[in-house]
Amino acid sequence: MEFFLRIINITSDYVAFYMTYTLATVKQYKKTPNQGILSPGSMVVIDMTRLNPTAPQAAVVANEAVYVNSTVVSKHFKTSAITYDLFNKPETGRLVHKMTLPVTLAATSGPQSWEVTSLSSLDQQVSSPV
């Protein structure tokens, strides 16, 4: 099952993002890209595939989710410096946002799309599948 996640940086800051998944299902996802840096006002579309959904509802692990972790970085921050620890063990003073996107699999005739319109903790929104 393929779906797309669009992340738009509506801030005037550079924002690093890193995707994680429910531990029990991490090997069931293929994604491109998994991490990156968004310049102010930019957007990225992440192509995600959940592998082997033979029985959609039965295949979903309880509380299965995709997580988008984000933090403000400097203009010269390198993509190679984006690691799990940047978000899991942030240095003092670094604010990390974590958005949880619950996974619900349902039979459909075409791809579903989720849109994340903001990574700000005050403006976090997820729209329903279209």
Say how far apart CA 55 and CA 44 lie, in whole Å. Answer: 30
**52 versus 88: which is more confidently predicted?**
88
pLDDT digits over 27-63, tens only? Answer: 777 778 889 999 999 999 988 887 765 545 555 556 7
Q: Which CATH class is domain 2-116?
A: mainly beta
Q: Which amino acid is at 48?
A: M
Show me where the domains of the chain are located: 2-116
Q: What share of the chain is helix, strand, coil (3-state, %, to 5)?
A: 15, 40, 45
List helix spans (H) across the chain. 56-59, 84-88
pTM of the model: 0.70
